[in-house]
Structure 1
Amino acid sequence: MTRISGSNPILAALRQQLDRKSGIKKAPQTKTGQTASTSAPVPHTAGLGKKLQQEPEIDDDAARHLLVKALLLDQFGTRFANDPSFLDLVRQVETLMANDESVSAELSTIVTGLRTGKTDDKQS
């Protein structure tokens, strides 16, 4: 299964494109690539697997929406969470990802991994 991390090339490319298109300056990063701060925030993607495992009634489309939203919140911060234009951005990114077969397949693989709790290092 695919691990959700900064090392996933598709997600890393998405984050780079979002950075370029947004013009939003991110907080400085440390040598390890982590954002420098006094208290490290928990990524929004961190609890998504648990949520999907505890709520199996969430369909795949809704799960993909939650994943894209969590990734964008991790990228840009929670200050945009309630902004109507942020939700438009989430929908636009979802549409772009759905229109690219390989990205859509990768997203489905990630959602399946989140649902089952399987990552690269947990496979048998």
Structure 2
Amino acid sequence: MLTSPQRPPADVPRAVATLLSTTQQLQELLRLWSVGRVSEQHVSDIYVRLGGEFNATVAAFQFYGIDLSDLYSTPQDLRAVLEACLSEDPSPQVLAAYTPRVREIIYNLLQGLKKKQPAYWQAVGGNTILVP
């Protein structure tokens, strides 16, 4: 009788930490873009990476049967704001106009992940905090 190999447990803490780090990098690259130190392409590249990290985080939670569908709009919400921001000429004033919305989206992501912590820790039998 053949048995399928057991999948290793998903590393939710690592996925969340990487996603949070990428959101910080996005904010920093936006700041650098606003003062002409990086191109629009750099911001676009980190956004693409953020989308990949977001998908990895969703998959990690799904491994434990935890639904993140309430956060699915996060990448699209960020994309809309970034497209609007990057369509303008780089300046600190442009960044200031779009930063509140970017922060709101990231804050909502963090809060959504925080709400999922109890289900994750119940699934793995621990009680460490993922998102402060």
Q: TM-score range by the shorter chain?
A: 0.3 to 0.5
Normalising to structure 2: TM-score of the pair? 0.31
Normalising to structure 1: TM-score of the pair? 0.32
Instruction: Flag the structure with higher helix content.
Output: 2
From the CA coordinates, give the structure whose radius of gyration is larger: 2
Structure with the greater relative contact order (CA < 8 A, sep ≥ 6): 1 or 2? Answer: 1
